[in-house]
């Protein structure tokens, strides 16, 4: 009986160890999927990907602010959506700053795109501060917080245009 139990326990331990290994594999494999883009064409593609990511974040911010201004979403949802976009922009920024450009052309694309993404970060930070102000926070123009939705919307349009230009320069359509 004891022998049967210990064999069963051993089998069980083997199965659990297998499951743990499989789980470790599940976590490890995705980390190997980040492509290394070293060739000029690949570097430009990586720049385009980062700019597309940033553009998505800016468009999400525009939609979020419009809905908040129309009283269609509460401040908590708006704040969460904007915070999520800051994370996306952080990823885009990291993708650009960690990219080693293989030639001058891709270096120029990277620099222009990094500037555009920096502008997007500033705008989303401003947008979040504005939402906090509208939700009753003690923030004013003296603290650099935009005073109106129109001001923010105009700023975001400029940022989106800048990103569009960076995307086009990197060969995007």
Partner 1 sequence: MKRILGAALGILTAIGGFVDIGDLVTNAVVGSRFGLSLVWVVLLGVVGICLFANMSGRVAAVSGRATFEVIRERLGPRAAGANLVASFAINLLTLTAEVGGIALALHLVSSVEPRLWIPVAALAVWLVLWRTKFQIMENVAGLLGLLLIGFAVALFLLGPDWGELVRQVTQPSVPQSESPAVYWFYAIALFGAAMTPYEVFFFSSGAVEEGWKAKDLAQNRVNVLVGFPLGGLLSVAIAATAAVVLLPAGIEVSSLSQIVLPVAAAGGTLLLAAVIIGIFAATFGAALETSLSSGYTLAQFFGWSWGKFRRPARAARFHLTLIVSLVVAVAVLMTSVDPIAVTEMSVVFSAVALPLTYVPILVVANDPEYMGRHVNGRVMNALGGVYLVVIVVAALAAIPLMIATGAGS
Contact with partner 1 (CB under 8 A): which of 40, 42, 60, 149?
60
Of 63-71, 108-116, 119-127, 151-159, the segment contacting partner 1 by CB under 8 A is: 63-71
Distances (CA, A) of 71 to 68, 105, 136, 145: 5, 45, 14, 20
The rounded distance, in Å, linking the Cα atoms of 50 and 78 is 23
CB-wise, 33 or 104, nearer to partner 1? 33
Taking the C-alpha atoms of 13, 17, 22 and 23 in order, what is their torsion angle to the nearest 10 degrees? 100
Distances (CA, A) of 3 to 12, 21, 72: 14, 27, 67
Contact with partner 1 (CB under 8 A): which of 6, 10, 38, 87?
87
Which pair of tokens denotes residue 161?
């245009």
Contact with partner 1 (CB under 8 A): which of 40, 42, 49, 155?
49
Does residue 82 contact residue 124 with C-beta atoms inside 8 Å? yes
CB-wise, 112 or 160, nearer to partner 1? 160
Alpha helices in 70-171 (DSSP H): 75-97, 104-134, 149-169
Contact with partner 1 (CB under 8 A): which of 41, 74, 143, 171?
74
- The residues, any chain, with a CB within 8 Å of residue 84's CB and separated by 6 or more, are 60
Q: Does 28 bind partner 1 (CB under 8 A)?
A: no
Of 27-35, 97-105, 113-121, 145-153, the segment contacting partner 1 by CB under 8 A is: 27-35
Q: Does 165 bind partner 1 (CB under 8 A)?
A: no
Binding site for partner 1 (CB under 8 A): 8, 11-12, 15, 18-19, 22-23, 26-27, 29-30, 32-35, 49, 52-53, 55-56, 59-60, 62-64, 67, 71-77, 79-81, 83-84, 87-88
């Amino acid at each position: 009986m004891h022998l049967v139990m210990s064999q069963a326990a051993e089998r069980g331990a083997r199965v659990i160890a297998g499951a743990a290994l499989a789980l470790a594999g599940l976590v490890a494999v995705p980390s190997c999927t980040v492509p290394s883009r070293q060739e000029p064409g690949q570097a430009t593609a990586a720049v385009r990907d980062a700019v597309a990511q940033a553009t998505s974040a800016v468009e999400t911010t525009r939609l979020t602010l419009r809905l908040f201004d129309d009283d269609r979403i509460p401040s908590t949802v708006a704040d969460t959506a904007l915070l999520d976009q800051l994370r996306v922009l952080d990823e885009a920024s990291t993708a650009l700053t960690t990219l080693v450009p293989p030639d001058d052309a891709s270096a120029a694309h990277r620099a222009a795109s990094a500037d555009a993404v920096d502008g997007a970060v500033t705008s989303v930070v401003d947008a979040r501060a504005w939402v906090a102000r509208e939700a009753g926070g003690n923030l004013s123009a003296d603290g650099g917080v935009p005073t109106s939705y129109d001001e923010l919307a105009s700023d975001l349009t400029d940022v989106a245009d800048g990103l569009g230009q960076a995307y086009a320069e990197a060969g995007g359509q």
